[in-house]
């Protein structure tokens, strides 16, 4: 369930554009007005506002925002305003360029979007970067990370609920052997994780747990300093328990000495229209504090205000 | 350019369905009538006929054809009648099951369809087989073949004409090193072949030729008994000269002792609506005989008649 709140009666894209234009004019920008509009429109509505704004004022709304705003607030609002597939294309492109954490962002986009959504990301990537997502990922990664990430971002997984128990049993056994022998980069292990449907993987992981007495994510904890193993474990978790994956990510980036605004912004802007409600529940259960309070404690100003509106904190 | 000939004035799907129903009735099937209709309708028209036939007679047209027809003619007509994306899904699924030649069929579908068409094949595969194409390919292949085929069928290549010459020079050098050292299954070589756009690969292969004095397809001829090398070479050829690839395939399957109807049927039914005209030109140039005459010499009966209609042999 999404946390985005759209008013029952939404102004026309022309009215919204006019208000945004006003917010940019005069002495100082009216950030509150900008948030009150954009943080309460869904993806299609935001796209219409962008189109109308460009037609009316001959200027790209994103460029106008870029000119008026700064730092974390700017990045969060720009990312949020983008259409989800374009936003993911931008995040993925950055991730093929940056030095740290990038593998996680790629894995996250590949594993938490539906097959259709991931395909839209790949189309948006073509349009925006004149290249394919896969070629950039393949070019910028190497070794075990490439072995895992290229098929992950290339996948077009089956999305039906059908499960083949014979396959689940056989592949649970394969996974257990490879994990037991610490062959985490094994070809068969990677094949299973990167190609099977989420429903099928869930069945396979359940078989693993039943047959061998531990959750596979637990067995994948063997070496805390192995970055590849951490990524593999996160992949297994995200594919079967997305809300737990995102809860943990939020917990780590908020509790960090100096909040990790990059990850915080990414999770809130990419999940607010999808499943942030479930993630919030999970967060409160695990941390005994609401996500809203945690964000209030760790952020400030317009950035704080935007995040709180996106997570529907008025409710909390 | 396609060879399919559609009449200027096409009967309605209802009329076509009625004629087909007539062709099935009475003593003996009227194969000529069936060919005269289905071999002269494009993919969308054939789809409409299938829909109308099912609505009117409560029976699947493909099943009716299956009941009335036999052997090579049946297979060719069934494949032809299918919508291209469904046809490719069927061919690919067979290819993950059969013992021989299957790798070539998978490579052919992955490399000769546009990115959008390949995506439609993957969607059709989900619907028809309740699995993904990639998971079946990954499951049924192994070793070097898996290393090449899984990324090939997973790719969503960029289709623009833009070419980066710096990248082309750098990657031509990588390819040359790997080919020289006979590291045909090298990760970097596979990355380049499976992820770069066709335009970019073409530029890279040109650089290779300019810089090192041989076409890469020539250098990939080193060992005639190496099945993986043959497939890799065919991949490089198909990605940059599809009409030459298909000409050679036709030449080999027609000249074989006992024509290879499987490949002949596949090439004609999958290319008649796409580029068979160019392939025919290439065939005549290379063999000094028209494709039509070669087919007349090697096939017979309704099968021959259908193929000749599909290749537009009336023109020849």
Look at residue B26 in the predicted model and tell me its pLDDT. Answer: 74
With CB atoms and an 8 Å threshold, state whether B132 touches A195: yes
Region B74-93 average pLDDT: 96
Region B242-315: CATH code:
1.10.220.10
Q: Which of B96, B118, B121, B131 to mutate to test the interface with A (most CBs of A within 10 A)?
A: B131
Fill in the DSSP letter of residue A10.
Answer: P
Is B156 an 8 Å CB contact of chain A? yes
List the one residue out of A192, A194, A227, A187 whose CA is nearest residue A208.
A192
Structure tokens at B205: 């292969």
The answer to whether residue B281 scores a pLDDT higher than 50 is yes
Is B157 an 8 Å CB contact of chain A? yes
The ranges assigned to domains in chain A are 13-69, 84-154, 165-240, 242-315
The answer to whether residue B100 scores a pLDDT higher than 60 is no
The answer to whether residue B194 scores a pLDDT higher than 70 is yes
For chain B, what percent of residues have pLDDT higher than 90?
88
* Closest alpha carbon within chain B to A194: B135
Question: Is B299 annotated as ligand-binding?
Answer: yes
Look at residue B316 in the predicted model and tell me its pLDDT. Answer: 42
Is B218 an 8 Å CB contact of chain A? no
Fill in the DSSP letter of residue A256.
Answer: S
pLDDT 10s digits, B229-255: 999 999 999 999 999 999 999 999 998
Taking the CA of residue B164 and the nearest CA in chain A, the distance in Å comes to 10
Which residues from chain A sit within 8 angstroms of residue B150, using beta carbons? 151, 191, 195
Find the Cα–Cα–Cα–Cα dihedral A111, A247, A98, A63, rounded to 10°: 90
Look at residue B260 in the predicted model and tell me its pLDDT. Answer: 77
Q: What's the CATH fold of domain A165-240?
A: Annexin V; domain 1 (1.10.220)
Contacts of A37 (CB under 8 A, 6+ apart): A16, A19, A20, A23, A49
> Phi and psi for B32 in degrees, rounded to 5?
-60, -40
User: Where residue B136 falls among pLDDT bands split at 50, 70, 90?
Assistant: very high
Taking the CA of residue B55 and the nearest CA in chain A, the distance in Å comes to 27
Distance separating alpha carbons of residues A185 and B290, to the nearest angstrom: 52
State the burial class of residue B8 (Cβ atoms within 10 Å of its Cβ: 0-12, 13-18, 19+). exposed
Q: Is A185 helix (H, G, I), strand (E, B) or coil?
A: coil
Taking the CA of residue B219 and the nearest CA in chain A, the distance in Å comes to 24
Is B134 an 8 Å CB contact of chain A? yes
Distance separating alpha carbons of residues A158 and B290, to the nearest angstrom: 44
Region B141-155 average pLDDT: 96
Which residues from chain B sit within 8 angstroms of residue A194, using beta carbons? 138
Is B160 an 8 Å CB contact of chain A? yes
Structure tokens at B202: 């073409």
With CB atoms and an 8 Å threshold, state whether A130 touches B159: no
Domain at B13-69, CATH homologous superfamily? Annexin (1.10.220.10)
Distance separating alpha carbons of residues A214 and A180, to the nearest angstrom: 12
Question: Is A128 annotated as ligand-binding?
Answer: no
Distance separating alpha carbons of residues A220 and A214, to the nearest angstrom: 10
Look at residue A302 in the predicted model and tell me its pLDDT. Answer: 94
Region A84-154: CATH code:
1.10.220.10
The answer to whether residue B149 scores a pLDDT higher than 80 is yes
With CB atoms and an 8 Å threshold, state whether A156 touches B134: yes
A13-69 and A165-240 in the same fold: yes
* Closest alpha carbon within chain B to A118: B156
Inter-CA distances, A114 with A210, A244, B52, B144, B191, Å: 28, 17, 33, 30, 25
User: Where residue B151 falls among pLDDT bands split at 50, 70, 90?
Assistant: very high
Which residues from chain A sit within 8 angstroms of residue B162, using beta carbons? 130
Listed in sequence order, the DSSP H helices in B58-132 are 61-68, 71-81, 84-95, 102-112, 115-129
Distance separating alpha carbons of residues A234 and A222, to the nearest angstrom: 13
Look at residue A40 in the predicted model and tell me its pLDDT. Answer: 96
With CB atoms and an 8 Å threshold, state whether A197 touches B135: yes
Residue of B135, B157, B160 lying closest to A195 (CB–CB): B135
Region B83-102 average pLDDT: 87
Structure tokens at A50: 């962008």
Is A154 an 8 Å CB contact of chain B? yes
Digits of tens for pLDDT over chain A (316 positions)?
899 999 999 999 999 999 999 999 877 889 999 999 999 999 999 999 999 999 999 999 999 998 888 789 999 999 999 999 999 999 999 999 866 558 999 999 999 999 999 999 999 999 999 999 999 999 999 999 999 999 999 999 999 999 999 999 999 999 999 999 999 999 999 999 999 999 999 999 999 999 999 999 999 998 888 999 999 999 999 999 999 999 999 999 998 766 778 899 999 999 999 999 999 999 999 999 999 999 999 999 999 999 999 999 854 4
User: Where residue B101 falls among pLDDT bands split at 50, 70, 90?
Assistant: low
User: Where residue B222 falls among pLDDT bands split at 50, 70, 90?
Assistant: confident
Distance separating alpha carbons of residues B288 and B76, to the nearest angstrom: 26
Inter-CA distances, B54 with A310, B12, B24, B41, B49, Å: 50, 15, 15, 17, 8
B272-302 core/surface letters (b: 16 or more CB in 10 A; e: else)? bbbbbbbbbebbbeebeebbbebbeebbeeb
With CB atoms and an 8 Å threshold, state whether A156 touches B196: no
Is B151 an 8 Å CB contact of chain A? yes
The answer to whether residue B163 scores a pLDDT higher than 70 is yes
Look at residue B98 in the predicted model and tell me its pLDDT. Answer: 64
């Amino acid at each position: 369930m999404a946390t985005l709140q759209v008013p029952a009666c939404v102004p026309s894209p022309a009215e919204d554009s006019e208000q945004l234009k006003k917010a940019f004019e005069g002495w100082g920008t009216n950030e509150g007005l900008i948030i009150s509009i954009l943080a309460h429109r869904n993806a299609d509505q935001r796209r219409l506002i962008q189109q109308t704004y460009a037609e009316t004022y001959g200027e790209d709304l994103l460029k106008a925002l870029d000119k008026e705003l700064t730092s974390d607030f700017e990045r969060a609002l720009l990312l949020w305003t983008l259409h989800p597939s374009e936003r993911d294309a931008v995040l993925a492109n950055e991730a093929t360029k940056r030095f740290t954490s990038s593998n996680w962002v790629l894995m996250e986009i590949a594993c938490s979007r539906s097959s259709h959504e991931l395909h839209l990301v790949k189309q948006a990537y073509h349009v925006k970067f004149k290249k394919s997502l896969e070629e950039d990922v393949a070019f910028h990664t190497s070794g075990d990370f490439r072995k895992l990430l290229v098929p992950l971002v290339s996948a077009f997984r089956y999305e039906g609920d059908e499960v083949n128990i014979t396959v689940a049993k056989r592949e649970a056994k394969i996974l257990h052997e490879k994990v037991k022998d610490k062959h985490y980069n094994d070809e068969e292990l990677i094949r299973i994780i990167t190609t099977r449907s989420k429903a099928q993987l869930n069945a396979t992981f359940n078989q693993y747990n039943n047959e061998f007495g531990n959750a596979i994510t637990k067995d994948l904890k063997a070496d805390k300093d192995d970055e590849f193993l951490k990524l593999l474990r996160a992949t297994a978790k995200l594919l079967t328990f997305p809300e737990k994956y995102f809860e943990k990510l939020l917990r780590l980036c908020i509790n960090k000495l100096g909040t990790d605004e990059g990850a915080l912004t990414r999770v809130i802007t990419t999940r607010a229209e999808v499943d942030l409600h479930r993630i919030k529940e999970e967060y409160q259960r695990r941390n005994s504090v609401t996500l809203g309070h945690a964000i209030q404690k760790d952020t400030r100003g317009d950035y704080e205000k935007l995040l709180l509106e996106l997570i529907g904190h008025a409710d909390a």
